[in-house]
Structure 1
């Protein structure tokens, strides 16, 4: 396990990420056409900032307070996801397109770094359950953001892809046996990575509607299969 670090270092990195995220969101506003209104611009920047603040709040509540190099990578990913959130709000306002090379690059970078932070945690012997959970929730939130953007390309049915994780959490609240830990599954990880890749790919400007819709349908089908399999495992454990 990695040693605890001074809270000042964690706070400095968090503050730097917050400032850079706000600046990135402000720069994105300049790309909007038509330019978003004052309230619309504030809503876009606030959404991106709120995403990162929620992440930082989760990081600060970690006990024991340990912060390793893998957490720095996850923080970068959260910052990129925050920028995607700002972009998402602007697409809902019609100020930015749902398909853009910029959005594709940002989202793909965030998804690729998902494998980097885990590898760093294992290499530095700093893996922890808290770090894994924070990483997973960052993934889930990014997929939700990308599903909102993708919905403007293929239809709002694809939003179910982003909501699956949160519907499962609701199920855990209603069904206590779903709170049991699940065994490791490479298939589950592969489906999650595939889902993120599909949703990010839909934001590519050269992807036609029919191909985006087909890929989104396949991804949603895989996700439904993965969650259904996990639910069956949890129900079997409760017998």
Structure 2
């Protein structure tokens, strides 16, 4: 006879990985090892005063702490993998770009650092697939670093007075999307993997990098902003439409 009085079993929630667990500890130690490089790059960008170096280090360590917390929630591989180290390097470069928001820096220097971060963006996914280290954590880590890089570059372009506050149209969409998900939870459902979304992210970052160049002003800057915003609007709009049609 079926036992109708039995309450349903609670869903199994994996226990967080311990901080001493190999990959988790490795990510934390790698982040600490990268801190001096972040400080040196921040000093090169914004000067050796405490403010630019401090804000860059704070950004790096906060981002690394979030990454470690995310890895503890679930990571299926026995070692850290090169892909996560590349993403961590991109986080370090992104954090260093906080320095020019505190102390003025050359737009060309900001552009150069951001260009390195963009170039590395294609390496982490390739390494993860090549080494068999693909994971939901790695994909999320990569996505959040992309979003942070976009926002920080937008803030740098705004601080430089290139196109005004309108440049935030290129830096805030990811965070607006997440905030909207708190109101409409169906927006937070998993999305199918699409090349167009990845291409739109590259266009977003490339447009923001171009806006760092001191020679990009006036109508050229407005055209770059408008083009990047149009591509992002198409990408996010397509995803929102798909999520709305498939909502439960």
Q: Which band: TM-score by shorter chain?
A: 0.7 to 0.9
The aligned runs of 1:117-132 (5 Å cut-off) are: 117-132=124-139
Aligned positions of 1:90-109 closer than 5 A: 90=103, 95-97=104-106, 100-109=107-116
Output the CA distance in 2 between the equivalents of 1:227 and 1:198: 17
| Residue correspondence of structure 1 range 40-119 to structure 2 within 5 A | 41-61=49-69, 62-63=71-72, 64=74, 66-90=79-103, 95-97=104-106, 100-119=107-126
Change (3 A) 1:148 1:29: closer
Verify the 8 A CA contact 1:158 1:217 in the aligned structure 2: no
CA distance in 1, matches of 2:207, 2:241: 26
Per-residue deviation at 1:225? Answer: 1.7
Q: Are the equivalent residues in 1 in contact too, given 2:45–2:109 (CA < 8 A)?
A: no
Residue correspondences, number: 221
Q: TM-score, normalised by structure 1?
A: 0.85
Alpha-carbon offset, residue 145 of structure 1 = 0.5
Give the unaligned 5+ runs of structure 2. Answer: 1-20
2:222 to 178, 198, 213: 213
Q: Within 1, Cα distance between the matches of 2:206 and 2:23? A: 36
Deviation at 1:238, TM superposition (A): 1.6
Residue number in structure 2 paired with 1:24: 41
Question: RCO greater where, 1 or 2, for CA within 8 Å and sep 6 or more?
Answer: 1
Aligned-partner Cα distance in 2 for 1:175–1:30: 44
Which deviates more, 81-90 or 165-174? 81-90
Gaps (5+ residues) in structure 1? 32-40
The answer to whether the 8 Å contact 2:56/2:97 transfers is yes
Q: CA deviation at 1:116?
A: 0.5
Question: Following the alignment from structure 1 to structure 2, what is the Cα–Cα distance between the partners of residues 174 and 117?
Answer: 33
2:237 is equivalent to residue 228 of structure 1:
yes
Whether the aligned pair in 1 keeps the contact of 2:115 and 2:209 (CA below 8 Å) is yes
- After superposition, give the CA deviation of every residue in 1:57-98 in whole Å (9 maximum; x if it has no partner): 1232213455111011111111111111112332xxxx335x
Asked if 1 retains the 8 angstrom alpha-carbon contact of 2:186 and 2:244, the reply is yes
SS at match of 2:134: coil
- The alpha carbon displacement at 1:7 in A equals 5.5
The two structures, once aligned, show a CA RMSD in angstroms of: 1.9
The answer to which structure has the higher helix fraction is 1
The more displaced of 203-212 and 130-139 is 203-212
- Measure, in 2, the Cα distance between the counterparts of 1:88 and 1:191: 26
Alpha-carbon separation, structure 2, partners of 1:8 and 1:57? 11
Question: Is the contact between residue 58 and residue 134 of structure 1 (CA under 8 Å) also seen in structure 2?
Answer: no
